[in-house]
Amino acid sequence: MKSKIILIFLMLISSTAWSHKSSDSFINLTVTNENIVGRWDIALRDLEYALALDTNNDGAITWFELRTQQKDIEDYVFTSLYIDNGSTECVRKLGQLQVDHHSDGNYVVLNFNLDCFAPVSEIGIKYQLLFDLDPTHRGLVEIIKGESSEFVVFSPDNQYKVIDFSKLNHWKTFYQFIVEGVWHILIGYDHILFLFCLLLPSVVRKTSTGWQTSDHFTTTLWQVGKIVTAFTLAHSITLVLAVLQIVSLPIRLIESAIALSVMLVAVNNLYPFFNKQAWLVAFSFGLIHGFGFASVLTDLSLSTGKLGVSLLGFNLGVEIGQLTIVSVFLPVAFLFRHYWFYQRIVLFAGSQASILLSLIWFLQRAFNININIISS
């Protein structure tokens, strides 16, 4: 019965976790004297979810469908964005509608100009797009004025921000990216499941004579430390390479490979074949996971001055989230390692369920197959 509960829980999250890339929109605001030039990139899949743009229900959104519904799109999104110069709302003039390709698919691009009627020394931004439909949605905004810039993340809990250009500093951006890094590891179900599958056999393993448990927490902690360090080092390397556009791989290939990495580690828990080289496996697969993390920063197209700060902050945030998971899971696992339910349910049934879930992810990502786990 308990194994079925674990299986159902993992299957339930598959419908929302099949793609690692979360729902984000990207806004770039360039301030020049009394005017602001803006560009807003919104995922086509998000607008389809909100507005049902595929009017003929053929599974594809054409340029004709976008053009004929341009006013509906503009009316919908710009009721979610308010920008003022500190006291008076800036007047918006819309530009040409475009479509651009990001790492996770096509995005509608809305170009606009704002007249603020006075020199802009500060701006207030209120962002509410999609919060009523998707509480995990984030609005990622970069504001540039001359050599200064500010990066802000909007969420349901942070919908309004005032940016004073006389008080900009790199530490604000650094902190914002730390928060983003933590957030993206916590909603990255595939990364979390991969980490759990690596950690499950750290306190107990099956041998030819039965279940063998770890005797010393410090020994276990050392082994886990090597695994986590190897994984961290690897995904940090590819995160930097991808964001700097030194290496670029198709997002479908990356996400499919991440699903396979979860599957292989889970299989190893049932039929061990690389236990002694677990740190090397973590490093190898960590190289793949780094490309998954990089998609967020790559799509931001940050200015050069913010790139180093954003990379460091985001990667630090990912590590904080990752270490939080390890610090919570490992002591509990060590405490219950002698009990049959950990050996049979948590490790054995949990690994079986992880294999099934990662297989579903792989089929969805590699072949764009939508597998409905729970029928209506």
Tens-of-pLDDT digits for all 376 residues of the chain?
Answer: 444 444 444 444 444 444 445 788 999 999 988 899 999 999 999 999 999 998 888 878 889 999 999 999 999 999 999 999 877 888 999 998 999 988 777 899 999 999 988 888 889 999 999 999 998 899 999 888 887 778 888 999 999 998 887 776 667 778 888 888 888 888 788 889 999 998 998 888 766 666 788 888 888 888 898 888 999 999 999 988 888 888 888 888 998 999 999 999 999 888 887 766 788 889 999 999 988 888 777 776 665 566 777 888 888 988 899 999 999 999 999 999 888 888 889 998 999 999 999 999 999 888 876 654 433 3
Helix H segments across the chain? 2-17, 44-51, 63-68, 70-78, 170-186, 189-199, 217-243, 251-270, 278-300, 304-335, 340-341, 350-367
The distance between the two most distant Cα atoms of the chain, rounded to a whole number of Å, is 80
Q: Is the CB of residue 234 less than 8 Å from the CB of residue 326?
A: no
Q: Report which DSSP code applies to 343.
A: I
**Which pairs with CB-CB distance under 8 Å and at least 24 residues apart come from 71-78?**
73/47, 73/97, 73/108, 73/110, 74/110, 76/47, 76/50, 76/51, 77/40, 77/42, 77/47, 77/110, 77/129, 78/110
Q: Which residue reads 């009017």 in tokens?
A: 55
Paired with 341 in beta bridges are: none
Rounded to an integer, what distance in angstroms lies between the CA atom of residue 258 and that of residue 195?
12
Rounded to an integer, what distance in angstroms lies between the CA atom of residue 181 and that of residue 312?
10
Pairing between strand 81-84 and 35-43? unpaired
Q: Report which DSSP code applies to 70.
A: H
Q: Which residue reads 């209506």 in tokens?
A: 376
- Distances from the Cα of 193 to the Cα of 172, 259, 346, 357, angstroms: 31, 10, 13, 10
* Six-digit token string for 196: 């759990």
Rounded to an integer, what distance in angstroms lies between the CA atom of residue 83 and that of residue 128?
12
Rounded to an integer, what distance in angstroms lies between the CA atom of residue 272 and that of residue 93?
62
Pairing between strand 35-43 and 24-32? antiparallel
- Distances from the Cα of 317 to the Cα of 31, 121, 281, angstroms: 29, 31, 23
Secondary structure class of 212 (helix, strand, coil): strand
Q: What is the pLDDT of residue 331?
A: 92
Rounded to an integer, what distance in angstroms lies between the CA atom of residue 316 and that of residue 279?
20
User: Is residue 152 exposed (0-12), middle (13-18) or buried (19+ Cβ within 10 Å)?
Assistant: buried
User: Can you give the pTM of this predicted structure?
Assistant: 0.72
Q: What is the pLDDT of residue 357?
A: 93
Paired with 28 in beta bridges are: 39, 142
H/E stretch holding 160 reads: strand 160-164
Rounded to an integer, what distance in angstroms lies between the CA atom of residue 151 and that of residue 27?
10
Q: What is the pLDDT of residue 55?
A: 86
Q: What is the pLDDT of residue 371?
A: 53
